[in-house]
Amino acid sequence: MKLSKKIGLLGLTAVMALGGLAACGSSNNSAKDSEVLNIWGMGDEVKQLSKMTDKFTDETGIEVKIQSIPWSNAHDKLLTAVASKSGPDVLQMGTTWMPEFQEAGALADMSSYIDKYDAMNPDNFYEGSVETTQFDGKSYGIPWAAETRVLFYRTDILESVGYKEPPKTWEELEDAAKKLAARGDDKYGINIDSKEQTLGFMFARQNGSPLIKDNQPEFDQAPFVDSVAYLNNFIQKGYAPKQDLGLDVSQTFSGDAMVPMFISGPWMAKTVKDTVPDIDGKWAIAPLPGKENNISSMGGSNLTIFEYSEKKDDAAKFINFMAQPDNQLEWMHLTDALPTAKKTWENPELKDDPIYSVFNEQLLNSEPMPLITQFEEIAQNYLKHFEQIYLGGQDVQKEMDSFNQETETLLNK
């Protein structure tokens, strides 16, 4: 079921020598490239940045050129940039790519700039976002856009099965899903997105699992295994679809709601508003139900300085500009990206909004996935083993034992 748009890695980079980088905007096209601050971003949303750079140029006299890179090419282009020591001055870097490219030497240590500029103070940002920027006691970026997961639900339909408030615990979530699935044929309680690589790890943390401790995985231990069994139970009992239904949210969440609950991120709030207007006032979001805690995943992107930039001071000025709470609010208006600066969330526009206020609450209780270079491979391996469980009928403990052994080998290479 296509209930979650895969944002993937919100990171980006590229190498000018490879070509294919379209200039999205510039404060002054007549300026020589050697005099211009080059900023590389990923996806169409970065094109909106040109609407903010004139203000930066007016304040600093620094001219800016913005370049956009397709998500599918970003990783390889960044590797080439590192190898050639040729790239941009400022990089938008996905949080899950930070460990790999910090280790590769692509990112400049920004600690001195963070000490210099008040807007860059780590205390200004969500703790989970800051974690993604720090390695070995040094800071390699500033949080720019935040992302987390929350529970989406149809208020009217949950109320019809006895839930005037959203489920707040694992027990309530399972009970609500059971009652919702009992409405009739082709009705489910919740979607368990089998392609979402953070879902199993989020639930395991809620069950007390450290995931990886002292470079040793704990995926074969009870907190993790029981969490996987909990998720699998929704599918095996028919509370969640076993296969992708091939339908989008406008088909599954509208009307009498084939699937009245699902877990997703901020992009989905806009999708629901835009594509399912008939349920306006009949849906809401809530912090994730929890067990020992209700920790969600922290994702998004950071602004970083390319290690080989000759304009690091100017790059820091630009990042300081974008870190200002008012500018973070403007960026949200342009792109719907959630701000990382906590002060931005004090604005009544966000504080009093029933959707944004929930995202803020969950962001305060969100943690990034393990900040290790191997995590992408680990996450993909988890999905393969989970498929063997929910689709292939394999034993949960057996699959997690195998997954744990594979991860041990990977971590000790």
What is the C-alpha end-to-end distance of the chain, expressed in Å? 36
Query: CB count, 10 Å around CB of 151?
Result: 23
Give the pLDDT of residue 102: 97
- At CA 226, angle to CA 222 and CA 228, rounded to 5? 125
Tokens of 150: 């929350």
Give the pLDDT of residue 347: 97
Query: CB count, 10 Å around CB of 23?
Result: 13
Give the pLDDT of residue 28: 42
Give the pLDDT of residue 34: 63
Query: CB count, 10 Å around CB of 121?
Result: 13
* Percent of the chain residues topping a pLDDT of 70: 92
Q: What is the mean pLDDT of the chain?
A: 92
Tokens of 405: 């052994």
Does the pLDDT value for residue 382 go beyond 70?
yes
Residue listed under structure tokens 């040729």? 86
Q: What is the pTM assigned to this prediction?
A: 0.90
Give the pLDDT of residue 30: 45
Does the pLDDT value for residue 4 go beyond 50?
no
**7-29 pLDDT, tens digit each:** 333 333 333 233 333 344 444 44
Number of H helices, E strands in the chain: 17, 16
Tokens of 315: 């790059």
**Percentages (nearest 5) of helix, strand, coil residues in the chain:** 45, 15, 35
pLDDT confidence of 35, banded at 50, 70, 90? confident
Q: Cα-flanking dihedrals φ and ψ of residue 397, to 5°?
A: -60, -40
CA distance 18 to 215: 37
Q: Give the mean model confidence (pLDDT) for residues 91-105.
A: 94
Does the pLDDT value for residue 366 go beyond 50?
yes
Q: Closest Cα partner for 321 from 303, 296, 333, 335?
A: 303
Q: Select the more confidently predicted residue: 34 or 145.
A: 145
Query: CB count, 10 Å around CB of 262?
Result: 22
Amino acid in position 280: D
Q: Select the more confidently predicted residue: 378 or 13.
A: 378
Give the pLDDT of residue 32: 57
Q: 190's torsion region: left (phi>0), alpha (psi -120 to 50) or beta?
A: beta
Task: Please say whether the beta carbons of 61 and 51 come within 8 A.
Answer: no
Provide the 3-class DSSP secondary structure of residue 215: coil
Task: Please say whether the beta carbons of 133 and 98 come within 8 A.
Answer: yes
Tokens of 30: 């007549």
**271-290 pLDDT, tens digit each:** 999 999 999 999 999 999 99
Give the pLDDT of residue 74: 85
CA distance 388 to 317: 50
CA distance 327 to 323: 7
Give the pLDDT of residue 1: 44
**245-261 pLDDT, tens digit each:** 999 999 999 999 999 99
Task: Please say whether the beta carbons of 87 and 308 come within 8 A.
Answer: yes
Q: Give the mean model confidence (pLDDT) for residues 366-382.
A: 97
Q: Select the more confidently predicted residue: 394 or 9.
A: 394
Q: Give the mean model confidence (pLDDT) for residues 344-356.
A: 97
Give the pLDDT of residue 33: 57
- Domains in the chain, CATH or no CATH each: 16-148+299-367 (3.40.190.10), 150-296+374-411 (3.40.190.10)
Helices 170-181, 222-236: crossing angle, 10 deg rounding: 10
**122-150 pLDDT, tens digit each:** 999 999 999 999 999 999 999 999 999 99
DSSP result, 34-100: GGSEEEEEESGGGGGGHHHHHHHHHHH---EEEEEE-HHHHHHHHHHHHHHT---SEEEEEGGGHHH
Distances (CA, A) of 372 to 98, 160, 221, 225, 377: 9, 45, 20, 22, 10
